[in-house]
Structure 1
Amino acid sequence: MPKDLNENVCDDEIFAGIYKKLSKDLLGFLYYKFNGRADCNDKMQEAFIKLWDNCRTVSPSKAKAFLFKVASNMMLNELKHEKVVLRYAKQKPKDINIETPQYLLEEEEFLKKYQVALATLTENQRVAFLLFKADGKSQKEIAEMLGVTRRVVESRIFNAYKKLRSSMDEFK
Structure 2
Amino acid sequence: MPKSLHHDICDKFRFSKLYDTYAQSLGNILLYKYGDLLNPTDKVQEAFIKLWENCSKVTPESVKSYLYTTANNMMLNEVKHQKVVFKYQQVKPQDYDNESPEFILRKKEFLERFERVLSQLEEEERVAFLLNKVDGKTHKEVAEILGITKKVAEHRIYGAFKKLKNQLEELN
Bucket of the pairwise TM-score, normalised by the shorter protein: 0.3 to 0.5
**Rg larger for:** 1
Larger RCO (CA under 8 A, 6+ residues apart): 2
Normalization by structure 1: what TM-score?
0.46
Normalization by structure 2: what TM-score?
0.46
